[in-house]
Chain A
């Protein structure tokens, strides 16, 4: 964009903030600056309706096609730039607000009369920088992408069912994919299953591939009846806690004894059943490989309560800390302790060794400060405390990052609670880490809300600011496809070059930095603009 077509408006709100002398000084200094500024407009009340009319005339007369508005913070925060863009029918990106924060420099009264050099300096710097940005920036094309009116939910546990149910109520076509042969009602307090009428459910099925980006994913689902292809606007991963495929076998491999069982089954096995005489000492071990939270604690306390209630066996609960951070969990903890369950808070690692008739747990008792052995006929272990056996294949298929523990979603506050590194893919429930059961529903609804937000518009209007691949330089080494954290790069099979998706690109610049052939550039942040900003 050339400098002649850029106008600069300095707003001086009835002259209260910048004095006349100061404005003169700014004008003078800017017109001496490199190439000069041809179109300087001084306004006294930019926000008024009358001003907009006269501004339109002036802009037309001078042939201005983009504007810098230097004024109070309104230039940035109150939608003034949008309002002016609207009135002049300019593209929003061709108007740049430069806030001058007059009040900052106006601390001392005496400066009001003369020239406050600091203030003038700041204005000159801001406007020059704005000029540099506008001159080196080409207007962006707007791409209209249709949003596929369908959502795909992976996982038929509590989180998946609540998500699918909410999406169904919003009126979005929803496909639910569950690995097991039936949906699980664990952790669901209402009879929801029958409400899923209208949801397309595939049990005994799994996602085998996912391509595309926000608004337009294409998924391939392996069902008992063969492969099914689905287009979807958004995806929710609600794959649940990392339960090993065969828990018995896993625990056998891990501890060399079948006396270790998953905590889930321990709790259900004991509810309402008569005592099992051979099992006299039952242990529940939390925080095995890593610290657990409220969900595990709650599950452990319930199990302990169920076993202790009919006095079926002596119960030991081993944990590093009692994670009771929720209303009424403390009361449950107190109740379980008062029932006679032995609670051992340990520090460091817990060691488990196999005995002929059971297991031995060796822990450093934190209260007594001594190493103690406990023998148990049966030991319950929760999946959240165990390190994952291997990374979830869903991560590879969807490109969603795992955190340090192999759980879905990076540990990044900007993404929490339910977003992931891939725009358009959300995650809820135990798959993203241990989630306390009452919060699972909240997360599921939040994820459904985000999906609804995406699907409710039939199209996405996106600025074409994604990374650009120069087809002449690209050698298809796949570096960009491997390094893109947002899954935005893919191969254009027709031309045999890499290509970037407008919807998925987050303009981080990693691909441009990594490309060995220097074939990738970012349209908004060219080197020239970055240098100008410095």
Chain B
């Protein structure tokens, strides 16, 4: 059976691994970060009393399913150093950070987290998806000290960690690139005051806030979303629609209204993208809940002395809408991952003018948000489609 090397363990990489593993291939996933699952794990479920079909939960299931597969190996904390591709065989030389926790051997006893003298091991737990995550920045090994407490404590021998890094050589027949995206850095649009004004946050920060706690801060009674931050913006060299921001902003607007019915929610947009099978119904529901949808994005956000944030929108007929909000959420768009250039060079991939990847090689496949901005379900479909092409070859 072939060995397939998957780069990236986000929803796209996991979907491909799940599919290829089920067909009986050996799969190795190389993940740069210390945890499996990618960005999607920090997103919130956007259901109220009904599901809004955001797809975040599918990631937890995919993670749990993949961890159970014996022919799928997941290596976290990996830096790829070199790649050689003969067309038949791909050899990857990489360096793995230690301590390395083999999540498939892990018994979830919690001993390592308890024993770590620097408290740098944390647990991620959603249903059957359980993983132990090492914060390398706090780990003694990475400060040049010696430590093997976690390794010795583990009853299942799931932790490796003598030296700080371990060189690895991996070979496979095909490579599957699913390195994902990086969101736009909102500080690059200084007019919106991100980083200067504490109440201006990004959509991602709101995701994390909503997934962490059920209660929205008491004193916040008026929230505005500004769409297309870092998207559809030729000045920033990002003249494309990121396609998912309307989806997450409107779904979170619904969640906010549900959790705190008297909250005022405004969405400033250029064009609302239809993201759901039955989008018109969804939009009607939002309007009936009292969410204000205003065409036009504010030029700037001003912080008033009262701490409120003022947004002004000028309309086509010369009218103005001026409103003051407690919190402004910037719907930052997807861009190519910061590592895209490096990945493109290593695997000989093509990069478009924005930096998104595509492959012209017969044994290297690209899927998910490193290919173009796309939603969770689209990422799953694109991963399965690419995986099918690998499956067909046999």
Contact = CB atoms under 8 A, between A and B. Distances in A.
Interface of A: 13-14, 16-17, 45, 47, 72-74, 76-80, 99, 101-104, 106, 166, 169-170, 290-294, 320-331, 334, 345, 365-370, 403-405, 407, 409, 411-414, 416-418, 432-434, 439, 441-446, 448-450, 452-453, 456
A504 to B, nearest CB: 21
A103 B114 contact: yes
Report whether over half of chain B's contact residues are helix, strand or loop; otherwise say mixed: loop
Given A405-B277, A442-B381, A78 B105 contact: yes
Residue from A73, A448, A456 whose CB has the most chain B CB atoms within 10 Å: A73
Residue from B113, B274, B295 whose CB has the most chain A CB atoms within 10 Å: B274
Contact of B23 (A345, A403, A407, A453): A453
A365 B269 CA distance: 16
A405 B130 contact: no
Given A106-B114, A434-B274, 18 more contacts: A47-B155, A78-B107, A78-B108, A103-B109, A169-B392, A170-B391, A290-B279, A291-B283, A325-B246, A326-B243, A327-B373, A328-B240, A334-B239, A417-B381, A445-B384, A446-B385, A449-B385, A453-B19
Nearest to B104: A78
Contact of A16 (B19, B155, B276): B155
A187 to B, nearest CB: 15
A409 B278 CA distance: 11
A296 to B, nearest CB: 9
B156 A47 contact: yes
Residue from B19, B109, B239, B270 whose CB has the most chain A CB atoms within 10 Å: B109
Given A47-B156, A330-B241, A103 B110 contact: yes
Interface stretch (B48-56, B92-100, B208-216, B217-225): B48-56
Interface string B327-365: 000000000000000000000000010101000000000
Given A77-B128, A449-B385, A325 B107 contact: no
B319 interface: yes
Contacts of A413: 51, 53-55, 57-58, 377
Contacts of A77: 64, 67-68, 108, 128, 130
Contact of A411 (B19, B53, B269, B271): B53
A78 B391 contact: no
Contact of A446 (B57, B113, B130, B384): B384
Contacts of A166: 388, 392
B47 to A, nearest CB: 10
Contacts of A403: 277-278
A527 to B, nearest CB: 26
A365 B276 CA distance: 25
Report whether over half of chain A's contact residues are helix, strand or loop; otherwise say mixed: loop
Interface in B40-95: 51, 53-55, 57-58, 64, 67-68, 70
Contact of B385 (A321, A367, A411, A442): A442
A77 B373 CA distance: 33
15 contacts: A47-B155, A74-B106, A102-B109, A103-B111, A291-B280, A321-B273, A328-B240, A365-B316, A367-B317, A433-B277, A442-B385, A446-B384, A449-B384, A449-B391, A453-B22
Residue from A321, A367, A439, A456 whose CB has the most chain B CB atoms within 10 Å: A321
A80 B295 CA distance: 56
A310 B246 CA distance: 36
Contacts of A45: 155
Nearest to B295: A366
B315 A369 contact: yes
Contacts of A345: 271, 295
A16 B114 CA distance: 11
B286 interface: no
A72 B354 CA distance: 48
A111 B277 CA distance: 53
B154 to A, nearest CB: 10
B377 A449 contact: no
Nearest to B234: A334
Contact of B381 (A76, A99, A328, A443): A443
Contact of A321 (B242, B244, B271, B388): B271
A368 B109 CA distance: 64
Residue from A291, A434, A448 whose CB has the most chain B CB atoms within 10 Å: A291
Interface string B303-324: 0000000000001110100000
B388 A448 contact: yes
B107 A74 contact: yes
Contact of B109 (A13, A169, A331, A441): A13
A72 B239 contact: no
Contact of A291 (B104, B241, B274): B274
Contacts of B70: 79
B274 A439 contact: no
B315 to A, nearest CB: 7
Nearest to A443: B381
B146 interface: no
B9 interface: no
Contacts of B319: 369
Interface residues of B, number: 72
Nearest to B389: A445
A530 B211 CA distance: 31
A74 B108 contact: yes
A103 to B, nearest CB: 3
A331 B317 contact: no
Contacts of A101: 108, 110
A72 B108 CA distance: 6
Nearest to A414: B58
A450 B15 CA distance: 12
B156 to A, nearest CB: 6
Contacts of B246: 325
A237 to B, nearest CB: 15
B274 A324 contact: no
B51 A72 contact: no
A416 B67 contact: no
Contact of B352 (A292, A327, A330, A369): A327
Nearest to A324: B241
A415 to B, nearest CB: 10
A445 B274 contact: no
B272 interface: yes
B273 A432 contact: no
B372 interface: yes
B262 interface: no
Q: Which 8 A-B pairs have the closest CB atoms?
A: A103-B110, A73-B108, A325-B243, A367-B316, A445-B385, A74-B107, A321-B271, A446-B384
Given A73-B108, A326-B241, A331-B239, A446 B388 contact: yes
B6 interface: no
B295 A327 contact: no
B205 interface: no
Contacts of B105: 78
A456 B58 CA distance: 25
A325 B384 contact: no
Contacts of B110: 17, 72, 101-104, 106
Interface string B255-287: 000000000000001111111111111010000
Contacts of B281: 404
A406 to B, nearest CB: 10
B232 interface: yes
B117 to A, nearest CB: 14
B271 A324 contact: yes
A348 to B, nearest CB: 11
A411 B278 contact: yes
A74 B272 CA distance: 46
B320 to A, nearest CB: 12
Contacts of A453: 19, 22-23
Residue from B19, B111, B315, B381 whose CB has the most chain A CB atoms within 10 Å: B381
B380 interface: yes
Contact of A327 (B53, B274, B354, B382): B354
B108 A323 contact: no
A412 B380 CA distance: 15
Contact of A456 (B23, B55, B283): B23
